[in-house]
Amino acid sequence: MYKRNKGFVLNPKVPIFLHSFSINPKVSVSFCPYCAYTKRWHQLKTNFMLNEILAGLTKILGPIATLSKDRRELKDSALRAISNALDETFLYYRDLDNGSLKNPEREALLVKYWSAAAIPVRHFDEDLSRICDNKSEYWINPDNYDGESIKQLGIGLDDVRMAYRQMLKPNFSLSRGRK
């Protein structure tokens, strides 16, 4: 390793008399053009290495950012599917409450809505995906379910809406652990 002399790095390959000179006998100044050159060279080399590291990180972070964006879009798609299924189900119940008769075509659509919601949700919330799938099964023949089995399966609309709203919340955390 090179020796330090008054703030300058001395290169052992350079004769010592080149390192020190004195303008005033009381003040000795250390300076070697070779050492100053090598110091600058090391700075440039360090900057080059840092630039290479940053370029490598940029190449890595680009795809990571794209994956994050893709995951966010997939989650938005899953939330949209649940929202559509919830909306259509609430509208159907509203019409039933207003005196409309049971509509098998609409119930068949609800089966498709809930099935379509279960598929993308599985990537984010397995329980909610299972609930959507059970909701789809429910709409195949709603008369086969009583209030107790609906509660046991967790497929009541209020339960599904709460799980949906929980999934709507942003998932920010300082640690990258899975929530």
Report the domain count for the chain. 1
Q: For residue 135, is it within any domain?
A: yes
Contact 164, 128 (CB under 8 A): yes
Query: What are the tens digits of pLDDT across the range 58-68?
Result: 776 666 656 57
Q: What residues have CB less than 8 Å from 64, skipping those under 6 apart?
A: none
H/E run at residue 75? helix 33-97
Gap between the Cα atoms of 115 and 7, Å rounded = 73
Closest to 98 in 3D by CA, of 90, 109, 107, 87:
90
Contact 120, 78 (CB under 8 A): yes
Range of 84's domain? 72-168
Q: For residue 151, is it within any domain?
A: yes
Q: For residue 92, is it within any domain?
A: yes
Q: For residue 39, is it within any domain?
A: no
Q: For residue 15, is it within any domain?
A: no
Confidence at residue 13, expressed as pLDDT on a 0 to 100 scale? 57
Query: What are the tens digits of pLDDT across the range 17-37?
Result: 544 444 444 444 445 555 555
b or e along 32-46 (b: 16 or more beta carbons within 10 Å of the residue's beta carbon)?
Answer: beebeebeeeeeeee
Q: For residue 127, is it within any domain?
A: yes
Global pTM reads 0.59
Q: Which of 55-59, 71-75, 117-121 has the highest mean pLDDT?
A: 117-121
DSSP 8-state code for residue 142: G
H/E run at residue 161? helix 157-168
Q: For residue 98, is it within any domain?
A: yes
Q: For residue 148, is it within any domain?
A: yes
